[in-house]
Each structure stands twice: as structure tokens, then as C-alpha cells.
């Protein structure tokens, strides 16, 4: 069993390399330097169609990732098709709905686990759900994530959807195993192959290591990564582990649920930014706007051992890649935190 310390610090390592005194607040300047001008440059481009799979509960970087995703959607760079939760926490779905409501998108569909998966207590999900407006009363009022994903995929153009996962791969594996239904006569793997452009996963450590999102549901990790039929980009533990964000949210009003989540989680101090990196790459990196921030590894293959540890190998080439840091973490943190702090456009 994973102890409470590991649940609250899900990658159970210390932050390294970020110094924060007086840190912030390039805001719009940071956005301009790290691709923020993409909201202008991409005005005529089609937004990235995103399905977001999260373990929002034990850690707060999931909230930061939702804030980043909404900021990118407000800039016209992303279209949020739906969201799913891959752990069991009664308040996670209402909390996620409250965040979406704050950003003016209360109707984003949310899917949940059907009662299986990792139980994941939270420091903040109930507090956010109780304090901010939302329509989703409980997880019982939400569809199962896999059914939602099948419906969303079936309604999209071929090879157009970008999956972003920032938690255990329970839902991703179950989607591959799903059967034909009223939404599509294709089984899960064939539906993914037909509709998904790429999967961006926050998970693993590169070139090798053992990371929470991979080991907490190892059978699902092995199956999802081995059977996934489209390219995968991994944002490993080492990418977000040195990027601290959250302290700058103190400047936001108390009416902001992102600020409240970080306040409940760690008193508005910095937290590692694992999940935000995956979202940012999925939208701006795929559009070629983050070349100064990260490189991509050559294509190769990620293999998963029985204990959930991962190993990178150059061959066989299965279309797997991982992010390689280029920019100093403090500069990346400023850009990410500026997006997290951006007020809703709606």
C-alpha cells in the first residue's frame, strides 16, 4: 500500500534547482517569450482538440494543469473536448466541474472510474467543491470515463484528437479494451488508432526510473503503453520536478479556485509542475512553439517492468519520444505560472 506521504507527494522526491525569492512575475512578458504570442500567431489556426485525463486529488499540479489548459483555450489554441478522472475521490469530479465553471466552461463533460482504481484522498478537492459553484453534485452523476471517451472520439475528425494524461493509466488501458457500442462499431484500440493524433503522458523518468503514475497501476501502464497505436510523447518526472509554481498565486483574489486549491494543499508555496508541462507541450509544443524550452528525444520505445519502472531504448522504434529540458527551470516556471494566474476570458 502506498502511504499517505506518497499520496500527497506522489512522485516522493524533493524539488531541486528552483530558487523563488522575488520570483515572478513576468506574466505577459513570459508568455511572449515562451510562445504566448501564439494566441496571435495561431488566430487562424485550428485549435488543438484535447481530452484530459487526470488523477485530481492527491496532488495539486492537476489543478495547475487545468488552469493552463483553460488559459490556452481562452487564447484560441485549444478546444477542451472532455475530461476524465482516473482515481477514486468523491469530491474530484465536483472540484473539476467547479474549476471548469470558474473558467466559463461548466458544460465540459467529465467522466469517472466505475468504482475501481486507486483510492486517493485529497487535501483540497472537497474544499474547492464546497466553496465554488458547480453543477455536478457527485461522481455518481457523471458517466464512466471510457464511455465518455468513446463518445467524444467517435464525434471527431480522424487523427485529430490529442490525449493528455497526468495520472495513472487506468482509463487509457480500459479505453483500449473497450467494446463496440452505440457510439462506434470499432473496438477501443481501433477507435483510438482512427481518431487520435498523439498521446502526451506525464509519466516515467528518463532515461530510466520508477515514477508514481506508472507504478500505481502497473498492469494498466504496461498494457496502455505496449498497445497504444499512435505516437506517444512522455513528459518525465525530471521535466516538471525542477519547475516550481504556485507561490505567485497569492496575488490572485480569494475568489479564484486555483488559488484556493494551492492554499489548501500547501499554503500557497511552490509545488512541482509535472502536469502543467504535459498540457503545455500538448498544445504549444505540437504547434512548434516551444522549441526554445524542450527538445524531443529521437523516436524509440518505452518498456515497463513488473514493478512499474520504465526503461528507454532506441529500438524498436514504436513512435515513443520524451521531452528533454533546454531552458532554465525558473524561466519555464514563470511562463507556466503566468498561464495559471490568467483570469478567465469568459
For residue 17, is it within any domain?
Answer: no
Query: What pLDDT score was predicted for residue 116?
Result: 55
Query: What pLDDT score was predicted for residue 138?
Result: 86
Query: What pLDDT score was predicted for residue 118?
Result: 61
Query: What pLDDT score was predicted for residue 117?
Result: 58
For residue 79, is it within any domain?
Answer: yes
For residue 198, is it within any domain?
Answer: yes
Query: What pLDDT score was predicted for residue 30?
Result: 44
Secondary structure of 206-256 as H, E, C letters: CCEECCHHHHCCHHHHHHHHHHCCCCEEEECHHHHCCCEECHHHHHCCCCC
Query: What pLDDT score was predicted for residue 140?
Result: 86
For residue 15, is it within any domain?
Answer: no
List the domain range (segments joined by +) for residue 77. 4-8+25-341
Express each pLDDT in 95-115 by its tens digit.
Answer: 999 999 999 999 999 999 986
Give the closest residue to 41 by CA, choosing from 66, 73, 75.
Answer: 75
Q: How many domains are contained in the chain? A: 1
Secondary structure of 136-174 as H, E, C letters: CCCHHHCCEHHHHHHHHHHCCCCCCEEEEECCCCHHHHH
Reduced to 3 DSSP states, what percent helix, strand and coil does the chain have, rounded to the nearest 5?
40, 20, 45
And the C-alpha cell for 153? 472520439
CA distance 69 to 58: 19
For residue 183, is it within any domain?
Answer: yes
For residue 90, is it within any domain?
Answer: yes
Residues of the chain with pLDDT under 50: 1-44
Regarding pTM above 0.85, the answer is yes
Q: What is the CATH number of the domain that holds 139?
A: 3.90.245.10
For residue 243, is it within any domain?
Answer: yes
Place of cell 475521490: 89
Contact 306, 218 (CB under 8 A): yes
And the C-alpha cell for 127? 474544499
R_g of the chain computed on alpha carbons: 18
Place of cell 471517451: 149
Show the DSSP H helices in 36-179 as ranges.
38-41, 61-74, 92-102, 125-131, 145-154, 170-176
For residue 167, is it within any domain?
Answer: yes
Amino acid at each position: 500500500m502506498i502511504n499517505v506521504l506518497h499520496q500527497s507527494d506522489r512522485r516522493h522526491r524533493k524539488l531541486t534547482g528552483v530558487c523563488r525569492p522575488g520570483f515572478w512575475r513576468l506574466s505577459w512578458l513570459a508568455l511572449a517569450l515562451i510562445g504566448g504570442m501564439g494566441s496571435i500567431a495561431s488566430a487562424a489556426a485550428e485549435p488543438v482538440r484535447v481530452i484530459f485525463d487526470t488523477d485530481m486529488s492527491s496532488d495539486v499540479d492537476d489543478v495547475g494543469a487545468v488552469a493552463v489548459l483553460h488559459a490556452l483555450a481562452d487564447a484560441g489554441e485549444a478546444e477542451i473536448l472532455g475530461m476524465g478522472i482516473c482515481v477514486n475521490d468523491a469530491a474530484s469530479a465536483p472540484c473539476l466541474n467547479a474549476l471548469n465553471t470558474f473558467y466559463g466552461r461548466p458544460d465540459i463533460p467529465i467522466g469517472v472510474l466505475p468504482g475501481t482504481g486507486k483510492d486517493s484522498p485529497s487535501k483540497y478537492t472537497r474544499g474547492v467543491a464546497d466553496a465554488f459553484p458547480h453543477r455536478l453534485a457527485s461522481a455518481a452523476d457523471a458517466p464512466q470515463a471510457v464511455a465518455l471517451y468513446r463518445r467524444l472520439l467517435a464525434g471527431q475528425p480522424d487523427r485529430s484528437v490529442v490525449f493528455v494524461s497526468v495520472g495513472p493509466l487506468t482509463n487509457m488501458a480500459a479505453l483500449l479494451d473497450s467494446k463496440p457500442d452505440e457510439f462506434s462499431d470499432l473496438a477501443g484500440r481501433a477507435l483510438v488508432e482512427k481518431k487520435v493524433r498523439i498521446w502526451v503522458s506525464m509519466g516515467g523518468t528518463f532515461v530510466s526510473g520508477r515514477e508514481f503514475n506508472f507504478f500505481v497501476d502497473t498492469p494498466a501502464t504496461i498494457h496502455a503503453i505496449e498497445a497504444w497505436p499512435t505516437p506517444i510523447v512522455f513528459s518525465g518526472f525530471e521535466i516538471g520536478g525542477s519547475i516550481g509554481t504556485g507561490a505567485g498565486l497569492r496575488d490572485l483574489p480569494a475568489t479564484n479556485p486555483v488559488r484556493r486549491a494551492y492554499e489548501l494543499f500547501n499554503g500557497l508555496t511552490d509545488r512541482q509542475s509535472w502536469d502543467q508541462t504535459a498540457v503545455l507541450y500538448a498544445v504549444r509544443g505540437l504547434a512548434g512553439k516551444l522549441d526554445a524550452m524542450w527538445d524531443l528525444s529521437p523516436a524509440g520505445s518505452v518498456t515497463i517492468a513488473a514493478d512499474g519502472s520504465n526503461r528507454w531504448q532506441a529500438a524498436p522504434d514504436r513512435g515513443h519520444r520524451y521531452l528533454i529540458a533546454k531552458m532554465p527551470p525558473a524561466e519555464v516556471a514563470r511562463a507556466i505560472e503566468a498561464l495559471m494566474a490568467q483570469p478567465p476570458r469568459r
